[in-house]
Amino acid sequence: MIDLLADSSSLIVAGHRGFKAVYPENTLLAFEKALDLGVDMLEFDLRLTKDNAVVVIHDETVNRTTDGEGPVSGFTLAELKQLDAGSWLGAEFEGLRIPTLEELCEFLGEYPGLLLNVEIKPSKHAKQVADLAIETLKTCGYLARCVFTSFDASILAYLHDEYQVRTQGFEREAMSNFEPGEQGTYSKMWAIAFPMNALTADKVQAARNRGLLAWCYCPDTSEQVSYALECGVTLLTCNDPRPAIEAFEAAGKDLQ
């Protein structure tokens, strides 16, 4: 499956924060359920705790996805581990915890071909998160399977220049610290992703003209999947991967 990153014609389905549509996002359960569906890639978000542990959570605060309140960076890892990261979505998910990056890497040991889209969330700790994430992923032998994402163009440039890793960015208007010009932010990208409400075939072609892979997020219905494929994208990051997987299977595409 690693070859999918090298083959620009490969079609890839990614689980957005795991199987976000049905299970508590960015939990090991959500990742497991996405893998059960047969996704090629997992997308997840990284932030830093008060005691410098890298944890998998999207928001700047724990308010939305746990029973706690306050910024992620205001908690030690031990304190974060006391929070319930599942019951906000349903009582049946009570007791789920925020995973660390190391715990996620250990869990993924049973999936040697899986691709990873690692999003570094914009923050004053973003470079530190990037450094620690690279170290952990390299130690685990996962680095070659990773694409690194950020809405902060300066972090994307840092990852590209410091580590020569694959990076995925967004349109200029969606990013902070965007640098125009031939040596600017677009030159630091390997792929670019468009939200469904901004996706067009013309934008996909323009990305290709820049030498970039064109991806999209989040096509969660059959109609959206069909439109995305008509536009020419090669990777679909989905809250609900089922319509994309069903469309690929119906078309005879091999997701493995």
**Contact (CB, 8 A) for 54 and 73:** no
In which domain, by residue range, is 118 found? 3-250
Element (H, E) at 224: helix 222-231
Whether 255 is in a domain gets the answer no
Residue 163 inside a domain? The answer is yes
Within-domain flag for 125: yes
Q: Which helix (H) or strand (E) holds 3?
A: helix 3-6
Q: Residue 61 corresponds to which amino acid? A: T
Give catalytic residue positions: 16, 58
- The pLDDT assigned to 255 comes to 44
Q: Is residue 215 part of a domain?
A: yes
Q: Which pLDDT score, from 0 to 100, does residue 1 have?
A: 43
- Does residue 216 lie in a domain region? yes
Give one DSSP letter per residue of 29-57, joined into a string.
HHHHHHHHHT-SEEEEEEEE-TTS-EEE-
So what's the pLDDT on residue 7? Answer: 63
pLDDT value of residue 251:
79
Neighbours of 108 (CB within 10 A): 18
Give yes or no for a cis peptide into 218 (omega within 30° of 0).
Answer: yes
Q: Residues 6 or more apart from 50 whose CB is under 8 A from it?
A: 73, 74, 75, 76, 79
Which token pair is 21?
A: 């549509």
* pLDDT value at residue 3: 56
Any domain includes 256: no
- The tens-digit pLDDT sequence of the chain (256 residues) is 445 666 666 799 999 999 999 999 999 999 999 999 999 999 999 999 999 999 999 999 999 999 999 999 999 999 999 999 999 999 999 999 999 999 999 999 999 999 999 999 999 999 999 999 999 999 999 999 999 999 999 999 999 999 999 999 999 999 999 999 999 999 999 999 999 999 999 999 999 999 999 999 999 999 999 999 999 999 999 999 999 999 988 877 544 4
Number of folded domains in the chain? 1
pTM: 0.95
What's the CATH number where 118 sits?
3.20.20.190
Q: pLDDT value at position 2? A: 45
Round the CA-based radius of gyration of the chain to a whole number and report it.
17
With residue 101 as reference, give the H or E element that holds it. helix 101-107
